[in-house]
Each structure stands twice: as C-alpha cells, then as structure tokens.
C-alpha cells in the first residue's frame, strides 16, 4: 500500500473503532497503519485496548518492539520503557523476542529536588550515553562561522578563545578520576570548537584511553592536520558534521567551510582507518559517523551523502538542524533574534518556536534535563558552563573546574535560575511523556 492508501485505511479504522473500540481486528490493523504513519498515540491506544482484551497476544506482541523503537526515537523513552516492562512476562510466555527495557545507569539517582522549581524531577536512561559525560572544549576556537552556532551568532559576548594545554587537560582527567561520577566516563573533546585545531589532540585521546575511558570527537574535517596521529590514538568515535556535498549547500550553513576539502578529507580518513586500524579488534576501532544536518535548502544531498558514507565504511546519521545555544532559541521565542539568527532559522525545517510549542505540549514537567544530570561542560580555560548548550560567560557556574568538587558543581547547576527559563520554553534536553489523547467513542482507549 502507498502512503495515500495507508492514510485512507487509517481514517476508515478510526471510524470503525469509534463505533466499537473492542474490535480486535480493527485494533490490529490500527497498529500496523499507525506505525506506518507515525501516529503513535493511536498505536498506543490500540495496544492498550488489545492488552485489556487479552485476545491472542501472539498476533500483536512482535509489533510492540517496533512501537517501542518509534516511541524512543520520538523522545518518549519512559513510555517505551514502560511498555517493554508491561509485556515482558507476556512476551516470554509466547516466545516473542523483545528488547530488554533499558536500566537507569547505576551512577544516577532516580530523582532530584530542584530548589528553583520547588519540585522533584525524575531521571531516565540518558540518550547521549550510558555513562557520565564531560564535554571538554579542548580547542575553544573554530575556523568556521556556522550561523546556527554561537561561534557564528554570538560573537558579541566576548567569550575568550584559545587552546587548553595538555597539562591542564591531564589535570582535569585526573580530577574526573577522583570525582568519579561514574566508573568509566565518556569524554567529549569538543563543545563549541574544532578539536582538530589542537596540535596535541592525539595525546589527549591517548590520555583518555590510558584510563580505559572513551573519547568522542566532533569535527567538520576542514582541517586534516594530525589526522593520522588521531587515527592511531583511536578515539571511540569521530563525528563529521556536514550540511551538503556541494559548496552551494554546505557552505551556506557551515559558513567558511571548503566542501571540496572536506570531501577529500573524508576519503583520507577512510584510508587512514584502513591503514592503522584494520588489525584492531572491531569493538576497539574508531566508529565514524557522517552526520548530515537537514535544512530546507539541502534535501537533495542526503541520499548522496548516505551513499558516500556507505562506500567509505562510515555510519550515516541524518537529523533536522537546530539552533544553538539555548540563549538564542529563547531570543527567537521572545522576538529578539538578530538578523543572522533570523536568516538561519528561515532555513530550518523546524523553527525554535515550533520546537518550543511541541515540547511544551509533549512534556508534563516531571522529568529532569540530562544536560545537567548526566553532563558537565568545561571550557578551554577550565571554567565550567551551566551546561553544554549554554555559551554566554554570564551563564558560567565556576571559574575553575579543578577547584570545585563535583557536588559543588551539581549544586550550582540546580540552583541556577536559567534552567527554569529554559525548561518553561521547552528547550531542555529531556523526554516527552504526554501523547495526545485519542477518542474512539465510549469504549475508546
Ligand atoms: S558548529 Fe562547529 S564548525 Fe560550526 S562554527 Fe560552531 S564549532 Fe565551528
Ligand atoms: S535546563 Fe536548559 S540550561 Fe539547564 S541544563 Fe538543561 S539545557 Fe542547560
């Protein structure tokens, strides 16, 4: 069936279930159509009905895995988890293999009181990683000026720029080992800078690997200096972000990028990985992800970049471009965006206003933000930001990570008033937990 036919069938099923929501066959068909159309609230209601009717679960259990995956991808992680918990015993009775529910990582408390909001917030298994994450901006400077990023859109705030010394980096790593917020933290060697500008990046990767921890790099690959040493040092992940495979696309939103150079460097990276890592066990090799930022002007590039990633042995990820930092998103909602920001927002498939409205509709306010409960952001000069999504020096919470205990930093995050503003506008990094209601007549779910 093409999508028009699926939609027609969906509309018919909606009517049928409005007349009789106990119609098992209609519920089963609603699950199939709803999953095709991404109508997750209708699928949720159909599964609720099927579970309550307790009629031949083997007819629908297998689709629950797909439903949980779609819920999770839509940010409804707690709901996805509660479904997997709910049907675990039933699935085992009928021999149906479903993914195990994700546990909350052992290093996280299940909840924390927020003194500014005056209520307790729940935690969830974080999307960004199962361990605690440090975002260390080892190169607090960038050769690009992307208008969606504070390096391009907040040059007026006087944020210092520079490189972190290897000694300071090692001291920070040693302190993390002492603080030990989790046994094996993940170290991002970037936040608002281009890590490949740092001449000792490979030494930093090695310092992390020597502790048995994983390091992640995010780059645009406009520079390739030290790329061979980096591949030999073996970070766990290199993400290459791009917004097109032509100058006319990529260089609009990755401003100052040289696309021809980036494409050549992607090939070079693939060759270096073959040269230096083919003898390394697969699980210890560097994963490379080509991360495509979707805008209105670059839709045609996605398939070509996906094919290129496959050819080079890289993973591919495509996601809607978003505006950073959180301060600029709030500016858009408050009607005080600068022309640079307004122009780039025009190119986005989803504007900060739409994201804000959608998140406020989908979130009850019961859940915490993982940018603060599972991450700490350290600038090149050792100062600590409120989180990895804030840029303004005014939103820093401590001038020196080395002189602040983990508990002090956590307390400062939870006492900061800006998180309340961010959350009330729906820009925090959290989960959705409210599906729209479904009315299927008197017996409707
Ligand atoms: S998004 Fe990345 S590449 Fe672009 S200006 Fe910001 S730090 Fe540089
Ligand atoms: S609530 Fe907003 S400002 Fe606060 S930590 Fe989360 S993303 Fe950052």
Span 60-113, pLDDT tens digits: 999 999 999 999 999 999 999 999 999 999 999 999 999 999 999 999 999 999
**Pocket around ligand 2 at a 6 A CB cut-off:** 326, 369, 371-372, 386-387, 389-390, 418-419, 422-423, 427-429
- CATH code that applies to domain 133-424: 3.20.20.70
CA count, 13 A, side-chain hemisphere, 267: 5
The closest residue, in CA terms, to atom 5 on ligand 2 is 372
Ligand nearest to the CA of 194: 1
SS3 161: coil
Cα(52) to centroid(ligand 1), Å: 51
Is-contact 123 367, C-beta < 8 A?
Answer: yes
Task: Please state the φ and ψ torsions of residue 392, each to the nearest 5 degrees.
Answer: -60, 135
Residue 445 has a pLDDT of 44
Q: What residues contact 2, with CB distance under 8 A and at least 6 apart?
A: none
User: Which atom of ligand 2 is the closest one to the Cα of 422?
Assistant: 2
What is the distance in A from the centroid of ligand 2 to the CA of 372? 6
Dist. CA 271 → ligand 2 center (Å): 39
Residue 97, classed as helix, strand or coil, is coil
Regions in the chain scoring below 70 on pLDDT: 441-445
Report the pLDDT value the prediction gives residue 441, as an integer from 0 to 100: 59
Q: Which atom of ligand 1 is nearest to the CA of 145?
A: 5
Of 152, 195, 325, best ligand 1 pocket probe by most atoms within 8 Å of the beta carbon = 152
Return the residue whose CA atom lies nearest to atom 4 of ligand 2: 419
Per-residue pLDDT tens over the stretch 18-27: 899 889 999 9
Alpha carbon nearest to ligand 2 atom 1, residue? 419
**C-alpha dihedral (394, 398, 399, 405), degrees to nearest 10:** -170
What's the 34 CA to ligand 2 centre distance in angstroms? 33
Domain boundaries, the chain: 3-93, 133-424
* Average pLDDT for the chain: 96
Q: Check: CB of residue 192 under 8 Å from CB of residue 150.
A: yes
């Amino acid at each position: 069936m093409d999508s028009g036919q699926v939609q027609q069938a969906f509309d018919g099923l909606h009517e049928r279930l409005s007349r009789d929501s106990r119609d098992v066959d209609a519920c089963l068909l609603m699950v199939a159509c709803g999953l095709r159309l991404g109508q997750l609230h209708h699928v949720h209601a159909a599964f609720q009905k099927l579970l309550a009717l307790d009629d031949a679960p083997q007819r629908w259990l297998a689709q629950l895995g797909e439903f949980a995956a779609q819920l999770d991808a839509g940010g409804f992680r707690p709901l996805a988890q509660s479904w997997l918990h709910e049907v675990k015993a039933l699935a085992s009775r009928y021999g149906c293999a479903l993914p195990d529910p994700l546990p909350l990582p052992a290093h996280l408390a299940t909840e924390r009181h927020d003194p500014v909001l005056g209520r307790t917030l729940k935690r969830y298994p974080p999307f960004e990683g199962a361990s605690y994450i440090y975002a260390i901006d080892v190169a607090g400077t960038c050769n690009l000026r992307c208008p969606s990023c504070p390096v391009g859109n907040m040059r007026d705030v006087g944020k210092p720029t520079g490189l972190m010394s290897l000694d300071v980096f090692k001291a920070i790593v040693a302190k993390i080992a002492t603080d030990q917020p989790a046994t094996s933290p993940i170290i991002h060697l970037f936040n608002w800078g281009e890590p490949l500008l740092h001449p000792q990046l490979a030494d930093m990767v090695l310092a992390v690997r020597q502790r048995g921890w994983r390091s992640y790099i995010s780059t645009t690959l406009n520079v390739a200096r030290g790329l061979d040493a980096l591949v030999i040092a073996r970070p766990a992940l290199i993400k290459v972000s791009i917004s097109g495979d032509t100058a006319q696309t990529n260089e609009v939103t990755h401003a100052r990028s040289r696309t021809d150079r980036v494409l050549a460097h992607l090939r070079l990276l693939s060759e270096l990985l073959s040269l230096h890592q083919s003898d390394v066990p697969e699980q210890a090799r560097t994963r490379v992800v080509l991360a495509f930022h979707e805008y209105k002007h670059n839709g045609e590039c996605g398939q070509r970049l996906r094919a290129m990633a496959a050819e080079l042995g890289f993973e591919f990820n495509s996601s809607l471009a978003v505006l950073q930092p959180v301060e600029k998103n709030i500016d858009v909602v408050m009607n005080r965006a600068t022309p640079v920001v307004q122009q780039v927002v025009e190119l986005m498939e989803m504007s900060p206003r739409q994201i804000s409205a959608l998140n406020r509709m989908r979130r009850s306010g019961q859940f915490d933000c993982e940018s603060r409960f599972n991450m700490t952001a350290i600038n090149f000069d050792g100062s600590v930001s409120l989180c990895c999504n804030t840029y303004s020096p005014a939103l820093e919470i401590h001038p020196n990570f080395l002189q602040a205990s983990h508990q002090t930093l956590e307390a400062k995050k939870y006492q900061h008033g800006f998180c309340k503003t961010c959350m009330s506008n729906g820009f925090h990094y959290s989960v959705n937990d409210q599906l729209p209601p479904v009315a299927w007549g008197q017996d409707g779910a």
